[in-house]
Chain A
Amino acid sequence: MYIVKNAIINITRNKGRNILIGIIIMVIAAACSITLAIRASADKIVTSYEKKYPVNATIGMDREALTNSLREGDKTQEEMINTFNSIKAVTKDEIIKYGDSKYVSSYYYTSNINMNAKDIKEATDSLVKETTTTKVETTTKNESWTKRNPGNRPGRPFEGGSSTTQKKTTTQKKTTTSKVENIRNEKAGRGTFSLVGYNSYESMVDFVNGNYTIKEGEVSNDFKSNSCVISEELATLNKLNVGDKITFKSPNDEKITYELTITGIYKENTDESSNMSNMYSNSANRVITNVTVIDNIVKLDTKLEPTITPTFILKSTDVVDKFTKEVKEKGLSEYYTVTSNVDTVLGATKSIVSVKKFATTFLLITLVIGATVLFVINMINIRERKYEIGVLRTIGMKKISVISEFMLELLIVCIIFLLAGAGVGALSSVQISNSLLEQEIENAETDYNEINKNFGGSMEKRGPQREPSQFGITNIEKVDSMDAVVDYQVLGKLLGIGVLLTVVSSISSMIAISRFSPLDILKERS
């Protein structure tokens, strides 16, 4: 206890020396604090980006593998289509199995079926192929007749006589059969309308990306309701409005019907709409609904096979390969492949990651310089205090007690000025962090407003009903207080750094104290 008391007395009685040490520690702490804040801000930006554009993986047809497989054995086109049709679609159960992975943070999927509709016309040309088959039948007839039997020669006047005449007649009969058939991909389904079911706003990538924008009404936030949004073209063609109902029919059994209420009308903004060779856009007959509707329809008609497109949100950029390997091991067909946006994500955050790396390097350099300066100051300090050490040792203080007292003094000075430095650093960091985050905050706000607009609805509804997180946008807030930058974690790190610096720079005192002989010190003094 007396060591603590004596350490405090020594600090207060040797202000000049301790203030000098303190200023150095304060500068180091401020630099560390700013660096840590830059690192934290960089992390926030990267996290925000990864949240907004998460590393996601999806399962899709491996066209290359498929083409290679179809080329084998010189298959005819029909055989190729049959082979293609024999590839089983990824099922919901499989997706659940793949989603149950330590590499996946969440997953969603869209479910797609094709249906016909009652009372409304489709906004697309039907692809009808007319096959004309011409059948030619050739009949050869041998005829012989005599004059005596003139009547046997049809179409000829009676010639009389009994001479025998022979004639070979060839008749050709041409039959033309016209067959109209739909050459189609069975996987695309037989219905005219594509019903796509989603289970969250986030999964509605076309709306999030701005490919689709609600022109009238809104996308219902009840992902279990019998609601849908339809394309502007379909609405115009059939004079449909928000609130109208559409009855869809199963392509397998016309008696199986399902009624959906239109809650919104969307417009497609992609370039596909401007394709002059088509009258309608590709999405004209796309009816957007929720997965519950698709599940209900499939329950009614078990022959319908929904096409399920999963999206797995992966935990980090490092796990893409591991996840792909795991999915293959869990039994994904060779005709399917896992694709991800990892390159895009890494590319986009590359510059900010570089800033973070620079900050880390700067932190290390600061620490090394700081530790060296403190070490040297301590060496000088110990030389100055040699006499004190000699006196303390002479009056019976143990070496370990002297070392403890000197270390404690430095630790107290270190912690006090470290906190002061952290405060100064935090004040500066608020500005630095804000300037770093400003652009990101602005982007997030713009993105939220634009995406929210894409989903439609009144201004009043936009606020409470839809949070930015529903669109995968992280709420980045401007730093307005010190504790937002220098949080407990940063403070803990700084204290750790302080203790480390104290220990490293005290090594000089420890060595000196253990080597000094009190007699030599006092002799020197004399």
Chain B
Amino acid sequence: MEPILRLENVSYRYKDAAKDEYVFQDLSYEFNEGKIYVIKGKSGSGKTTLLSLISGLEKRYKGKIYYNDKDLSKVNLDKYRNSDIGIIFQSYNLLVHLSASENIILSMDINKLKIKNKKAKAIELLKQVGLDESHAKRRVLKLSGGEQQRVAIARSLSYNPKIIIADEPTGNLDKDTEKEILEIFKKLAHEENKCVIIVTHSENVCKMADKVYELKKNNKKV
């Protein structure tokens, strides 16, 4: 099976860093649909940076990243971000002045999805991640951390992307909620054939992964 996402000798160093001071060097990873991948590592190992590269938020790197065999540096990154890849942030990154459903509808609008009843679709997505209709109407600030994370997942699913990237998705959650969220990811990968990439340092998350890539400090590749 052809990997949906492939990293070939990817290296990264900060703009103001010394010439040989890389965050990571020569990473070559492959990611397939229907599986859960975990990128683990301690703080400062470059997990979130790697996630930024994969999601097309950072363009300044060495090596190649391929999405469906297309060089990521040559594709429209706005379109890539709003149709092919769903990003879930540790701090959820929801628009606080909007309700849960409005956040999802906005994402659909940006993607110009031709869905007749976007509100119904948003509610359906929220139900998929375990939130009922009453949650849909609430402003996101009035939701708990776990609920906000679910909304973020639902938003990332709104345009049915093939890859879902989650940055420390359970970092701010209690154990029970963490379990529930991980179940959602499992379901997405194994039942809905998504490629789920989770960046974390949590061992619990690593346990449920199909494959774990570990980033170590001091710029060494694993």
Contacts and interface: CB of A to CB of B under 8 A. Distances in A.
A396 B82 contact: yes
A388 B155 CA distance: 15
User: Would you list the 5 A-B pairs with minimal beta carbon distance, nearest first?
Assistant: A396-B82, A2-B109, A13-B97, A396-B81, A519-B57
Interface of B: 48, 52, 55, 57-58, 78-79, 81-83, 87, 89-91, 93-95, 97-98, 102, 106-107, 109-111, 155
Contacts, number: 61
A396 B95 contact: no
Interface in A507-523: 517-519, 522-523
A14 interface: yes
A2 B91 contact: no
B78 A14 contact: no
A517 B59 CA distance: 11
B93 to A, nearest CB: 5
B79 A396 contact: yes
Query: Which of B48, B93, B94, B107 counts the most chain A CB atoms within 10 A?
Result: B93
Contact of A10 (B78, B91, B97): B97
B87 A391 contact: no
Given A6-B106, A395-B155, A396-B111, A14 B97 contact: yes
Contact of A518 (B57, B106, B155): B57
Contacts of A526: 48, 90-91
A391 B95 contact: yes
A65 B185 CA distance: 106
Nearest to B156: A395
Given A2-B109, A14-B97, A519-B57, A395 B91 contact: no
A396 B93 contact: no
A13 B102 CA distance: 12
Contact of B106 (A2, A517, A523): A2
A9 B106 CA distance: 11
B125 to A, nearest CB: 14
A291 B111 CA distance: 82
A398 interface: yes
A6 B118 CA distance: 14
Nearest to A401: B110
Nearest to A2: B109
Contact of B81 (A9, A388, A394): A394
Nearest to B155: A395
A279 interface: no
6 contacts: A390-B93, A391-B95, A394-B87, A396-B111, A522-B57, A522-B89
A525 interface: yes
Interface string A1-35: 01001100110011000000000000000000000
Contacts of B91: 522, 525-526
A522 B110 contact: no
Contacts of A395: 81-82, 87, 106-107, 110, 155
Contacts of A394: 55, 57, 81, 87, 89, 93
Contacts of A401: 110
A365 interface: no
Contacts of B90: 526
A6 B82 contact: no
Given A391-B93, A398-B78, A9 B111 contact: no
Interface string A483-526: 00000000000000000000000000000000001110011011
A355 interface: no
Contact of A9 (B57, B79, B93, B98): B98
A9 B102 contact: yes
Contacts of A523: 48
A395 B106 CA distance: 9
Contact of A388 (B78, B87, B95, B111): B95
A525 B94 CA distance: 12
A188 interface: no
A264 B58 CA distance: 98
A112 B199 CA distance: 107
Contacts of A388: 95
Contacts of B97: 9-10, 13-14
B112 to A, nearest CB: 8
Given A395-B81, A396-B111, A13 B93 contact: no
A397 interface: yes
A6 B106 CA distance: 8
Nearest to B86: A395
Given A394-B87, A395-B155, 14 more contacts: A2-B110, A6-B109, A390-B93, A391-B95, A395-B81, A395-B87, A395-B107, A395-B110, A396-B81, A396-B110, A519-B52, A519-B57, A519-B58, A523-B48
Contacts of B82: 395-397
Contact of B83 (A5, A14, A396): A396
Interface string A104-128: 0000000000000000000000000
Interface string A390-429: 1110111110010000000000000000000000000000
A141 B182 CA distance: 166
Contacts of B78: 396-398
Contacts of A10: 97
Contacts of A522: 57, 89, 91, 93
Contacts of B106: 2, 6, 395
Contacts of A398: 78
B97 to A, nearest CB: 4
A13 B103 CA distance: 14
A392 B58 CA distance: 16
Nearest to B79: A396
Contacts of A13: 97-98
Contacts of B102: 9
A401 B52 CA distance: 22
A394 B77 CA distance: 10
| Best-buried of A392, A517, A522 by chain B (most CB within 10 Å) | A522
A13 B97 CA distance: 6
Nearest to A10: B97
A402 to B, nearest CB: 10
Interface in A366-405: 388, 390-392, 394-398, 401
A14 B87 CA distance: 26
Contacts of A6: 106, 109
A519 B83 CA distance: 18
B150 to A, nearest CB: 16
